[in-house]
Structure 1
Amino acid sequence: MPDFLLRTVGRTNLRLLGLLAVLCLAVAPLVGDRLFAPAGLRSMAFQLPELGLLSLAMMVTLLSGGLDLSIIATANLAALAAAAVLKSAPDGAGGALLVAYEAGALVAGLAAAALVGLLNGTLIGYLRVSPILATLGTMTLVKGLAIGLTRGSVVSDFPPAILFIGSGSVLGVPTPLLLLGLVALALGILLTRTPFGVVLTLMGSNQQAVRFSGIDTRAALLRIYVLTSLVAATAGFVMMARFNSANAAYGESYLLVTILACVLGGISPTGGSGRVGGLVLALVVLQLISTACVLLDLSQFLTLAVWGGILLSVSLIAAVRDQLRPLLAGLRAPVLRPAPPQA
C-alpha cells in the first residue's frame, strides 16, 4: 500500500473503510435497499449524533490518558438546567423575550456542565484522584442531584426553536448531524493545530515528561475535563430536543458504547494517539450495524453482542500484529555476512 495513502488517510481509517465495505456487502442481500433508502439514511442521520457527541467527549479524556464516566450524567444535567430556565418563562412569552429565555437556557446548560468539568478537573488535576474514581463519584453525585431535584420526573414541552436542534433540517441535512459535524471539525482542529491539542496528546503519551518540560499539567487537566463536559452538554441538548423532554436517566446505555466507539476508531485506551476521523468512521460502522439489526427485527441485545464481537476481533488482530511485528522485522533485516579474508 502506498506510504502517502497511509500517511494521509491513516491505517486505522483504511481498516474501518474496509470493514464498512464488507458490512455493506454482507447486509445488502438481507435487507435489500431498505438500509440505504432515503428514509433509512435520514433515520440514521438523526440517531447517530447523540452517540457521536458523547463519544467525542469521551475521546478527549481518553487521548489525555484519562477517562470520564460522568458524561451521561453531565449531559442530562445540562438538559435539565436548560429545561428549568425554559419552564421559568412567563406564559405567552414570545418574540425577543422568548429568544432571550432560549439563549439563557443553553447558557445555563453549558454553565452547569462546566461546573461538573471543573469539579472533575480539580479532583484529577490538583488532588491527584484517579480519573475512574473521580468521575464515578461525580457521576453518582450529579445523577443523584438531578433525580432529587426533579423527583425523577420528565420535563417536557419545549419551544420550536429548541426542538429544531434535535429534529430540524438545514437544506435537507438534519440539524443534529450538522452539529455533530461542526463539533467534530472544531475538535479535530483543536487537537491537531493548537498548542492545547499538542499538550493534551502528549499528556496521554507521557504526563510526567510533560510536567518536567515546564507545562502546568494540573491546569491542562482542568481545561480538558471542562472541554469534555461542554461537548457532553451538546449531546444533552440534542437528546432534549429530539425527545422533547429532559430526564436524569436518558442515554445511560451509551456510556460503555462511547468507549467501544473510541477504541474501535483507533483511540488508544491508554492515551496519546487517535484521530477524530477514525472515531467518526467507527460511529458509522456501529450505526450501520444497529440499523441493519432493526430492519432484520433482531433484538437490541444482539446488536450489543455484534458490537462487542467486532471490538474483540479488532483488538485481537491488533494484539497479534504487535506480537508478530518484531518477528517480521527480524526476517526483513539484512543478513550480515563476515567479510572474506584478505590475501
Structure 2
Amino acid sequence: MTAILNRIKTALGPDMAGPGFALIAVLIVFSLASPQFLSRATFGSVAFQLPELGLLTLAMLLPVLTGGLNLAITFTANIAGLTTAWVLQQHGGADAGPFAFFLGALLGIGVGALSGVVMGLVIAYTRAHPILVSLSMMIFLRGLGEFLTRGGDVSGFPAFLQPLGHGSILGFPVPLMVLIGCVLIWHLLLTRMKLGFNTYMIGSNIEAARYSGVNTRKTLVLVYTLSGAMCAIAGIIMLARFNSVRVGHGESYLLITVLACFLGGVNPFGGFGRVIPVFVALVVLQLLASGLNLMGANQHLATAVWGILLITVMILRFAAGQFTFLKRKKG
C-alpha cells in the first residue's frame, strides 16, 4: 500500500500530492456513500458554485505567499459589487444598457484595487502586521457598506447580466470560464513574471529580498492591489449570480479561502505555493460540500467540517515537517 501511495505521489509531484490524494479520497468515499454523487447534476452544481469562492481564493493567495493575509476579501468584493450596482441604478436599473455595466464594472474593479492599494501602502511603509491592517479595512468596508445600504439588499439589474452568473457556452458555465481565465493569469504571473518571483522572495525572507535589490514596498503594494482587483471581479460575478448585492454576503468564504490555500500546499508563512494545486483543493472542498448535501447534511455542518479539515491539515503538515526533520537528522 505504501509503495502504491509513493508511486501516486511521484506521479502527481510534490505540489499536487496533497490535493490529489484529497480529491481521490473524496471521490471514492462519496461515490460509495451516494450513487448520485458521480452524476452530471453534481458536477454541474459544483461548476456554478465554485467560481465566486475560487476568485476570492485567488485574491487571498497572493498576500499569503508574501507571508501576509487579506481578511477584507469578502467585504471588498461586496463594496465593488455595490459600486457596480450603483452605476446600473443611476442608468435605469433593470433597463440599464451594456455600457452602464461596463462602466460600473470598471469602477467596481477600481474600488477593489483602491482598497488593496491602501492596505499595501500601510503594510509596506509602516510595517504594520497584515492581519491588523486587513482587519481594519474589513471593519471599515463593512461599516461603509452597512451605512450606504442601511443593512438591506440592492437588486433589480438588467436581464443581460444573467448569462454572466448562470449562462453556459457549449455546455461550459460562463462563471467557471472566468475563474479558469483568472487562474491561468495568476499562474503566469507567479511563474513567468518578475512580480511573481519577488512575491516568493518576500515570503521567504523579506529582509534578504530587500538586500537582494527587490523593491519590497512596491511589490507589496502591487500584491494587495491585485488582490483587491480580484475581489472586485468576484463581487461582480456574485452580483450577476444572485441578482442582488448585500454587504454581508459570503462572510463564511473567508475561512474556506484560507483552507483552500493551505490544502493546496501553500506555506502559511509565505514563500511557497502554486496556483494549480490550490485550484484542485477548491474542487475538493466544493465536492465535499456537495457530497454532504447529498447525504442530507445541513450546510452549517459542511462549514464545521471545513473548519475541522483546516485544523487537520495544519496538524498533518506539522507532523510531516517533524518527520522530515528527524529523518534528515538520522541521515
Q: Same fold (TM over 0.5)?
A: yes
Give the conservation status (yes or no) of the 8 Å contact 1:165–1:237: no
TM-score norm. by structure 2 comes to: 0.93
Q: Which position in structure 1 is the counterpart of 2:237?
A: 238
For 1:324 and 1:36, locate their aligned partners in 2 and report how far apart those are by CA, in whole Å: 36
For 1:310 and 1:163, locate their aligned partners in 2 and report how far apart those are by CA, in whole Å: 34
Q: Which position in structure 2 is the counterpart of 1:211?
A: 210
Q: Which position in structure 2 is the counterpart of 1:55?
A: 57
Q: Which position in structure 1 is the counterpart of 2:41?
A: 39
For 1:155 and 1:309, locate their aligned partners in 2 and report how far apart those are by CA, in whole Å: 34
Worse-matched range after superposition: 129-138 or 72-81: 129-138
1:167-206 to structure 2, matched below 5 A, reads 167-206=166-205
1:101-116 to structure 2, matched below 5 A, reads 101-116=100-115
For 2:245 and 2:76, locate their aligned partners in 1 and report how far apart those are by CA, in whole Å: 12
Q: CA deviation at 1:57?
A: 0.6
Q: Which position in structure 2 is the counterpart of 1:99?
A: 98
Change (3 A) 1:272 1:5: farther
Q: Which position in structure 2 is the counterpart of 1:78?
A: 80
Asked whether 1:26 is paired with 2:29, we answer yes
For 1:93 and 1:83, locate their aligned partners in 2 and report how far apart those are by CA, in whole Å: 13
Determine what percentage of the aligned residue pairs are the same residue. Answer: 39
Worse-matched range after superposition: 322-331 or 139-148: 322-331
Q: CA deviation at 1:320?
A: 1.9
Q: Which position in structure 2 is the counterpart of 1:129?
A: 128
Q: CA deviation at 1:3?
A: 11
Q: Which position in structure 2 is the counterpart of 1:138?
A: 137
1:208-287 to structure 2, matched below 5 A, reads 208-287=207-286
Structure 1 counterpart of 2:38, which letter?
F
For 1:231 and 1:171, locate their aligned partners in 2 and report how far apart those are by CA, in whole Å: 26
Deviations 1:81-112 (A, max 9, x none): 00000011147857xxx221111010110111
Gaps of 5+ in 2: none
Q: CA deviation at 1:58?
A: 0.4
Q: CA deviation at 1:218?
A: 1.1
Give the conservation status (yes or no) of the 8 Å contact 2:94–2:158: no
For 1:7 and 1:100, locate their aligned partners in 2 and report how far apart those are by CA, in whole Å: 51
For 1:219 and 1:61, locate their aligned partners in 2 and report how far apart those are by CA, in whole Å: 13
Change (3 A) 1:201 1:4: farther
Gaps of 5+ in 1: 334-343
Change (3 A) 1:213 1:40: same
Q: Say what the alpha-carbon RMSD is for the aligned residues.
A: 2.1
The number of equivalent residue pairs is 328
Worse-matched range after superposition: 322-331 or 128-137: 322-331
Q: CA deviation at 1:258?
A: 0.9
Structure 2 counterpart of 1:283, which letter?
L
Deviations 1:37-57 (A, max 9, x none): 222211111101111111111
For 1:6 and 1:151, locate their aligned partners in 2 and report how far apart those are by CA, in whole Å: 52
Give the conservation status (yes or no) of the 8 Å contact 2:255–2:307: no
Deviations 1:59-96 (A, max 9, x none): 110001111111111000000000000011147857xx
Change (3 A) 1:6 1:103: same
Asked whether 1:13 is paired with 2:21, we answer no
Larger Rg computed on CA atoms: 1
Q: Which position in structure 2 is the counterpart of 1:288?
A: 287
Structure 2 counterpart of 1:100, which letter?
F
For 2:142 and 2:306, locate their aligned partners in 1 and report how far apart those are by CA, in whole Å: 27
Worse-matched range after superposition: 303-312 or 244-253: 303-312
Give the conservation status (yes or no) of the 8 Å contact 1:116–1:226: yes
Worse-matched range after superposition: 208-217 or 278-287: 208-217
Change (3 A) 1:76 1:325: same
For 2:250 and 2:83, locate their aligned partners in 1 and report how far apart those are by CA, in whole Å: 17
Deviations 1:213-250 (A, max 9, x none): 22221111111100000111111111111100011111
Give the conservation status (yes or no) of the 8 Å contact 1:121–1:223: yes
For 2:230 and 2:94, locate their aligned partners in 1 and report how far apart those are by CA, in whole Å: 32
Structure 2 counterpart of 1:132, which letter?
I
Q: CA deviation at 1:306?
A: 2.3
For 2:329 and 2:199, locate their aligned partners in 1 and report how far apart those are by CA, in whole Å: 34
For 1:3 and 1:158, locate their aligned partners in 2 and report how far apart those are by CA, in whole Å: 52
Q: Which position in structure 2 is the counterpart of 1:339?
A: none
For 1:40 and 1:327, locate their aligned partners in 2 and report how far apart those are by CA, in whole Å: 43
Change (3 A) 1:158 1:266: same
